[in-house]
Structure 1
Amino acid sequence: MTRGVRGATTVLKNEENQIIMNTKDLIEEMVAKNNIQPSDISHVFISVTQDLNAGFPSKALREFSGWTYVPVMCMREIDVPGSLQACIRIMMVVNTNKDQQDMQHIYHNQATQLRPDLLSKRGE
């Protein structure tokens, strides 16, 4: 079975180092909380809001051991008026035996406002 694991974070500035570091921190927690191994990952989609263009957040994946062949694609998020800015969203598709409701989706920084319903269910 494949399942999607969602994650999102924000940065304070449109700077490559911040984009990569915040993405790396987010992925580390997504992987740890869901016990994901590189060989479990089918692919990863990463979107950024239009105000982020200083660097590719996908570079963060290449800093992890064993992730060389994990397919990843970056894209621009839909620019909806009033939506959260400076945001990086991740959809990681993994092979797992877990039920959908057992997947832990991770939100950092200002991105916690995107899915407060999921945060409250986890007691975070």
Structure 2
Amino acid sequence: MNGHPAVEPTGPTAAPPASRVLALRGATQAASNDPHEIVRATTELLRELVTRNALDPADLISIWFTASPDLTAAYPARAAREMGFVDVPLMCASEIDVPGGSPRAVRVLIHTHSARPRAEAAHVYLHGAASLRPDLVTGAPAGSAEA
């Protein structure tokens, strides 16, 4: 203890009462190293994460994106900006180039305020990325027959 009272955040950046930080994971596979395909696949992934977890964009803390080394035509974060996440801190990085790694993969890690327990988090793995975590693939995307 430093003798100073704890300061609780107030105002628009304060976490909702009884909330905690929840981390949500997801991944997808872009059809090709084309800017449109990278953004399309990432948008689909983000929409599924938002829908399945009933996320309020105001509760988002930050979003980390990684792309496999063969995706260089666009930043996956562009999809989040185009979806309106203009005040959410975003970061993109390249995945390490592991031999036999998933090609054309976009991965995401979302940090959000949530009252939802970690055990109820709905992680989303779509298309070819579903093979990365078959234990977490729980359902098909809205409006799609593919998991």
TM-score surpassing 0.5?
A: yes
Please classify the TM superposition score into its range, dividing by the shorter chain length: over 0.9
Match of 1:94 in 2: 112
Match of 1:30 in 2: 49
Q: Which runs of 5+ in 2 are unaligned?
A: 1-19, 141-147
Q: Which runs of 5+ in 1 are unaligned?
A: none
Match of 1:5 in 2: 24
- Runs of 4+ with deviation above 2 angstroms: none
Deviations, residues 42-95 of structure 1 (Å, cap 9, x unaligned): 100000000000011111111223x21011000001111111111000000011
2:29 is aligned with 1:16: no
Percent of aligned pairs with the same residue?
33
Matches within 5 A, 1:1-124: 1-65=20-84, 67-119=85-137, 122=138
Shift of 1:37: 1.1
Q: Which amino acid aligns with 1:37?
A: D
Q: Which structure has greater helix proportion?
A: 1
Deviations, residues 22-41 of structure 1 (Å, cap 9, x unaligned): 10011001001101111111
Number of residue pairs matched? 121
Shift of 1:2: 0.4
- TM-score w.r.t. the length of structure 2 is 0.79
Q: Quick check: which has more Rg, 1 or 2?
A: 2
User: How far, CA to CA, are the matches of 1:123 and 1:18 in structure 2?
Assistant: 22
- TM-score w.r.t. the length of structure 1 is 0.93
Q: Which amino acid aligns with 2:56?
A: Q
Shift of 1:19: 0.2
